[in-house]
Amino acid sequence: MSYDLAVVIVNYNVSELLKNCLNTVFASTGGVNYKVCVIDNASPDHSVQMVQDQFPQAELIANQDNVGYPAANNQGMFALGVNTADAPRYVLLLNPDTELPADCLAEYVNWMDNNPTVGVVGPRLILPDGSLDLACRRSFPSPKVSMLHMLGLGRMFPNSPVFGRYNMTYLPEDQLTEVDSVVGAFMLVRTSAIDKVGMLDETFWMYGEDLDWAKRIKDAGWKIVYNPIRKVKHVKRASSRQNPKAQFEFYRAMIIFYYRHYRSETSWATHLLVMLGLAVKGGPKLWPELDGRKYQKSSK
C-alpha cells in the first residue's frame, strides 16, 4: 500500500545536527503518512549508533565508504520503495543540518496535492543568523547567468533582474515564485516526475545533482516552485566543509552540468570563456576535467 512521503536524509559526520533534524521530523503534525531513511556515508563520528539508539523508527543504511550525495540519496529512495508499485506519492530530500516546523511536512504535501502541475517545491531556508539561504531559489547556471555571477555583478546589483538572476535576489523573500531550481537541502519531489526522468545522476558526487534533477524535471513539463509558506532552519555546509573534496566537486559539478545541458548550444567563443573561468576558479586540479565530452550524454 502506497503512502504519502518518503523522507531521505544523507548524513556525514554531523551527529548532533542529525539528531536535531530527526527530532523535528518525528515531531511532525498534520496526519501525513511518511517514512524516513537515513543514509550514513561512513561518518567517523557516532552518527550510526545515535540513529540506532534514539531513532529506531528510521530505516538506516550505514555505508562503509562515502559514496557521495546523489548515490546515497538514490539508495534511500530505493530502500523506501520509490521505484515500486507501493511508492510514496512524494519524496523529500532533506539535509541533516535542517530543522522543520511541526506542520511543515503536512503543509507542503497538501500544497502539492492542490497544485498538480508542480513537480518540485522548496521552502524559505533560513540560516542561523536569520538571513535567507540564497540557494533556496535559483536560476539554472547557464553560461550567461554563471559568468555574471562569477564576475560578482549579482553581489553589486542584487536588485537587478539581470545581474541578480543567479540567486533571484531581486525578488522579495516572501514571494511564491516559479523558479528553475530549489536546493537539495529541502527538495520535495512528486514521485510521478521521478518516474518520468529517473533518479539523481550519480555522475555528480556532491553539488549540482539537484540542479540537474530540476532541469530534467522542468524539461519534462513540470513546474519548480519556491514556496515560502514555512521557514526551515539550515546550518548549511555542515558536512561539506569537513570534506577536502568539496571545492573540487563544486567546480566539477559545474563542468558536468554545463556539458549536460548547455555545451551543444554554446558558441566556441562563449565556450572558451566558460572554460577559462572554470580553470581560474577551480585551479590546476580541475584542469583535466575541462574536456568534459564524457559528460555530454546524460545518464538518467
pLDDT at 166: 87
Q: From CA 273, how far away is CA 276, in angstroms rounded?
A: 5
| pLDDT (tens digit per residue) in 209-260 | 999 999 999 999 999 999 999 999 999 765 555 566 778 888 899 899 999 9
pLDDT of residue 298: 46
CA 171 to chain CA centroid, Å, is: 21
Confidence of residue 24 (pLDDT cuts 50, 70, 90): very high
Give pLDDT tens digits for 38-79: 999 999 999 999 999 999 999 999 999 999 999 999 999 999
Q: What's the rounded Cα separation, in Å, for the pair 282 and 295?
A: 18
The residue type at 29: T
Is the pLDDT assigned to residue 284 strictly greater than 80? yes
pLDDT at 241: 59
pTM here is: 0.91
Q: What is the pLDDT of residue 199?
A: 96
Most confident region among 161-165, 186-190, 207-211, 249-253 by mean pLDDT? 186-190
Distances (CA, A) of 88 to 6, 192, 224: 6, 10, 19
Domain spans of the chain, in order of start: 5-138+180-241, 246-295
Q: Which amino acid is at 158?
A: P
Contact predicate 247/240, CB 8 Å: no
Res 297: pLDDT = 61
Distance CA 297, CA 289 (A): 15
Q: What pLDDT does residue 242 have?
A: 56
CATH code of 5-138+180-241, in short, is 3.90.550.10
- CA neighbours closer than 13 Å in the CB half-sphere of residue 132: 21
Cα→Cα distances 58→8, 15, 54, Å: 10, 15, 9
Distance CA 191, CA 203 (A): 21
Does the pLDDT value for residue 294 go beyond 90? no
Q: Note the pLDDT of residue 139.
A: 93
Distance in angstroms (rounded) separating the CA atoms of residues 252 and 256:
6
Report the chain's mean pLDDT, rounded to a whole number. Answer: 91
Residue type (1 letter), 74: N
Among the residue ranges 89-93, 100-104, 247-251, the one predicted with the least confidence is: 247-251
Residue 300 has what pLDDT? 40
pLDDT of amino acid 60:
98
What is the structure's pLDDT at 278? 86
CA distances from 173 to 187, 225, 231 (A): 17, 13, 11
Percentage with pLDDT > 90 across the chain: 67
CA distance 223 to 153: 28
pLDDT recorded at residue 286? 86
